[in-house]
Amino acid sequence: MIRKIFVLSGLIVFSAVFAQKTHTVAKGDNPYNISKKYGMSLDELLKLNPKVKDGKIAIGDVLVVNKTSQPTKPAVAETPKSTPAKTVSQQLGKIVLQPKQTIYGITKQYQISEAELRKLNPELDSHMKIGDEVTLPLENIKKFGGNQAVVATVSEPVKETKTVVTKTETVTETVKSVDENSYVVEPKDNYYKLSRKFNITQKELFAMNPGLEAKGLQPGDVIKIKGGNTTTQTTTTTTTTASQPVSTNTYTSTSTSDEYVTYTVQDGDTVFGIINKFGVSLDELLALNPNLSQGLKSGMVLKIKKLDAAYVKKSGDALNVVLMLPFGFDSNDSRYRNLSLDFLSGAKLAIERNVKNGMKLDVKVIDAGNESSFKNSLTQINQNNTDLIIGPFFKSNVLEVLSYVKEKKIPVVAPFANSEDLLPYSNLVIIETNEQVYADRIVKEVKDVFSDQKIYIVADADKSKANYLQAALEKTLKNPQILVVNSALDIQPDKNMMTGQSAPVIAILANNSDAAGEAFASRMIAVSKEVEGIKAFSMYYSPAFEKKVDDLSQANLVYIMDRKINTDGDFEKEILEAFKTKYCKTPSKYSVIGFDVVNDMLSRENKKGEIFKQMNKVQTQLATKFEFEKTKNGAYVNKGYRVVRLVP
C-alpha cells in the first residue's frame, strides 16, 4: 500500500516565520499530479525545486510543495483576489495526434499518468488515430511538448468559485472532508463512488442527506457521510492505487444499488440503445424511471431492473475461498500439474497481498483431479461455509460445481472455460474473453477504413473464425469482395481497373498460431513495400508483431491482445519484483493468470461476500484487463482486451 508522507519543517526568512511544506515522492507520483494535489502550477513546483530537471523525479525525493504564512497572520484566502483563477480551473490544451504517438508515449512525454489522461479524454481508445485531438494540461504541453503545437485551449473546472476554502484546508490538500462526518462533493463524484469510498449504501447516503436523491450531487456541496475515512482523500486514493490498480483505468457507467442495477446515461445514448443493451422493454424502463418521459439526458441515473437474489455471506469475518486446481495427485494424472502449480504460485502472491492489506481470508486448495475423478473432489466443498470458488479449469467440471452449489448460489469463477452452455448461470464469472468479441472488434475496425478495397481473410484449419468474419463483414459493408485464404502468401495487391496500377487491400489474420503470425507479418511487410495504403488486422497477437514494429507500421497493423504486461508501469514492476523475490524467477503465463484472476476477484469482494455488487468496475491487473458484462441469460462474461495500433 502506498502512503503519502508529509514532512513539515520550520524556516526563518528575514524577520517573518513561514511554514515550508514538503512532499516525499512515492510510487505513481509525477510532477503534474503533485502540483495539482497541492493547488499549484507545474512551473511553481519546478521553481521551488530547481533540482527537478525536465520533470524527472525519483521515489524518495523530497520536494518543496508550497509556502504559506502562519495561521496567526491574516490569510490571503480571505479575500477574493487571493484565489487566482488557476486554483479555480485547470488550464487545458489540445494537441493533434502525430504518427507513432501512443497512449504510453504521451504519458511519458507529457509527464501525466494514464489515469489522468483517460479522465481528460474519456473516449481515448477510439480517438487514437492520426489527426485526432488529445486533451492535456496546458502547462505540460508548453513544458514537454517540444515542437508539437497547442491547437486549442480549454478550462477544466476543479472547484466552483462559490466554495470558500478555509485557510486550514488550502495548505493541506486539494480535497478534504470538512469534518469526520462531512464531505465536499467533487465535480466527477457519483453515488456509486461515494458509497464505495465511505463504505455506505446509497440508501444510507440519502437518509443522512434529505433531498439529495431529488437534487442530485452538486460540486461544492457539503454532504453528510457515515463513518468511513477521517483522513484526507489523497491518502484514500493512494491506498486504492496500491492495493488495486483501479485508478489506472476507467469505470463503466453501470453500477448497482441495494435493489437495482443502475446505469448512468452517457453522451450519444438513446433509449432504444439502452433497452437493447440490457434486454428490458420500454414499458419496464419507463415504469422504473417516470422522469424518462421528459427526455433522455446525459448524466441521468436510470434504474434498469431489480437485482437477482445473490449470494450473501453466512457468518464470520473471514472470506472462505476454495481453489480447485487439477494437480492430479490423487488420480495419478500429471497432465495439468505444472499448469496448476504455476497458477497456484500467482494465486498465492495475490492472496498474501490482500491479507497484508487487511483482508481476512481462509483459503482451501482442492485437488480437482481429472474429469473422471472430479466428483470425489466436490465433497470437499463445505457449502455452508464457502464464499467463493475459483476453478475448476474444464467446462464439464465447472457445470458439475454449478449444479452442486445451485441452492446456495455460491459465486464460481471459471478461469478458462467459456461456452454458450455456461451463460445461464447467474452465479458464474467467466474470465476468458470469447473470440467472437475479438472478431466483432475487427469488423468494427475494418468498417472504419473500408473504401471498396478487396479483403483477404487468412483462415486456420477449421475456418470457423474466418467464416464468422466473412459473414459479419458482408452484413456490415456494402458489396465487399472477400477472399478466405489458407496462407498469407495468397494475399496479393489489387489492380486498379482504370490505371492498371497496384491498389491497396485489407488483410485479416484469423489464425492463432505463431507460425501463421510470422508468415502474416512477413507478407504484410512485403506487400506494403509494393503499394501504399495497406490495412492489416489480426484477431491475435504474434511475437513477430513486436519484433517488426517499424516495418509493420507501414501496413497500419491493428491487432488484439488478451494479456499484456506493461513492464514500465509501477504496479507491474512491484508485482514482478515481488514474484521474483518469492520464487527466484519471472512468472510464467499461468502464474500471471493465477495472480490476475485471484487478485481481481478478491478486490471485488466485501465483508459480506457480495462480489456481484462490484462486478461493474473495469480493472487491469498485472496483464489482464477485466471488463465484465452481465449477459441476458445471467453469467458475468469478461469482455476486456487490448487494441494495439501500429501507425507509420
CATH number, residue 576? 3.40.50.2300
Closest CA to 445 of 61, 125, 79: 125
pLDDT of residue 153: 64
Q: Domain of 450: which CATH number? A: 3.40.50
- The answer on 575 and 554 residing in a single domain is no
Helices (H), 49-175: 85-88, 103-109, 114-120, 138-144, 167-170
Instruction: Please indicate, yes or no, whether residues 483 and 509 belong to a single structural domain of this protein.
Output: yes
Q: How many CB atoms lie within 10 A of CB 500?
A: 8
519, part of any domain: yes
Least confident interval from 1-15, 22-36, 511-525, 566-580? 1-15
pLDDT, position 612: 86
Backbone phi and psi for residue 525, each to the nearest 5 degrees, phi listed first: -65, -45
Whether residue 338 lies inside any domain: the answer is yes
634 within some domain? yes
Q: If you average pLDDT over residues 453-472, what whole number do you get?
A: 95
* % of the chain exceeding 70 in pLDDT: 75
Domain of 223, in residue numbers: 175-243
In terms of Cβ atoms closer than 10 Å to its own Cβ (0-12, 13-18, 19+), residue 484 is middle
Last residue of a domain, one of 536, 561, 586: 561
Residue 118 placed within a domain? no
Clarify whether residues 556 and 443 are in a common domain: yes
Alpha helices in 379-425, H assignment, sequence order: 395-404
Task: Dump pLDDT digits (tens) for 358-417.
Answer: 999 999 999 998 777 788 889 899 988 899 999 999 999 999 999 999 988 899 999 999
In a domain, 98, yes or no: no
pLDDT (0 to 100) of residue 259? 58
Asked if residue 528 and residue 461 are part of one domain, the reply reads yes
- Cβ atoms 312, 610 nearer than 8 A: yes
- Do 232 and 282 fall within a single domain? no
Which of 53-62, 213-222, 294-303 has the highest mean predicted lDDT (pLDDT)?
294-303
- What span, in angstroms and rounded, lies between the C-alpha atoms of 329 and 254? 43
Q: Do both 424 and 384 map to the same domain?
A: yes
Note whether 141 and 117 are within 8 A (CB): no
CA angle 249, 610, 433 (to 5 degrees): 50
Q: Indicate if the pLDDT at residue 170 is higher than 70.
A: no
**Mean pLDDT, to the nearest integer, of 3-23?**
43
Within-domain flag for 33: yes
Residue where one domain finishes, among candidates 520, 539, 561: 561
For residue 282, give the C-alpha cell.
420500454
The kind and range of the H/E element at 464 are: helix 464-476
pLDDT of residue 245 exceeding 70, the answer is: no
* More confident call, 432 vs 199: 432
Q: Which residues contact 397 (CB under 8 A, 6 or more apart)?
A: 324, 368, 371, 374
Interacting residues of 641 by C-beta distance below 8 A, sequence separation 6+: 433, 437, 438, 441, 560, 561, 562, 625
CATH number of 296's domain: 3.10.350.10
Q: Is 462 found in the same domain as 424?
A: no
Task: With cut-offs at 50, 70 and 90, classify the pLDDT of residue 63.
Answer: confident
**Mean pLDDT score, 151-161:** 50
Domain membership flag for residue 69 = yes
Alpha helices in 10-98 (DSSP H): 31-37, 42-48, 85-88
Distance CA 410, CA 312 (A): 9
DSSP string spanning 337-392?
Answer: HHHHHHHHHHHHHHHHHHHHTT--EEEEEEE---TTTHHHHHTT--GGG--EEE--
Q: Do 386 and 363 contact (CB within 8 A), yes or no?
A: no
Report which of residues 67 and 382 the model is more confident about.
Answer: 382
One DSSP character per residue, 281-327 reads -HHHHHHH-GGGGG---TT-EEEEEEPPP-----S-SSEEEEEEE--
Looking at per-residue pLDDT, the higher value among 51 and 142 belongs to 142
- Do 458 and 556 share a domain, yes or no? yes
Number of structural domains found in the chain: 5
pLDDT reading at 322 higher than 80: yes
HEC-encoded secondary structure of 1-22? CCCCCEEEEEEEECCEEEEEEE
User: Is the domain of 589 the same as that of 533?
Assistant: no
pLDDT in tens, 479-508: 999 999 999 999 999 988 777 788 999 999
Q: Are residues 419 and 370 in the same domain?
A: yes
Query: Would you mind telling me the total number of residues written for the chain in this entry?
Result: 648
Does 382 lie in the same domain as 372?
A: yes
Same domain, 390 and 357: yes
From 217, 243, 269, give the residue that closes a domain.
Answer: 243
Centre a 10 Å sphere on the Cβ of residue 428 and count the other Cβ atoms it contains. Answer: 23
Residue 82 has pLDDT above 90, yes or no: no
Reduce the DSSP state of residue 79 to 3 states and report it.
coil
Instruction: Please report the pLDDT score of residue 528 as a whole number.
Output: 94
Confidence band, pLDDT 50/70/90 cuts, at residue 188? low
* pLDDT at residue 32, as a whole number: 66
Three-class secondary structure assignment of 526-581? HHHHHCCCCEEEECCCCHHHHHCHHHHHCCCCEEEECECCCCCCHHHHHHHHHHHH
Considering the domain boundaries, does residue 152 fall inside one? no
Contact status, residue 70 vs residue 18, Cβ threshold 8 Å: yes
Share of the chain above pLDDT 90, in %: 39
pLDDT, average across residues 150-155:
62
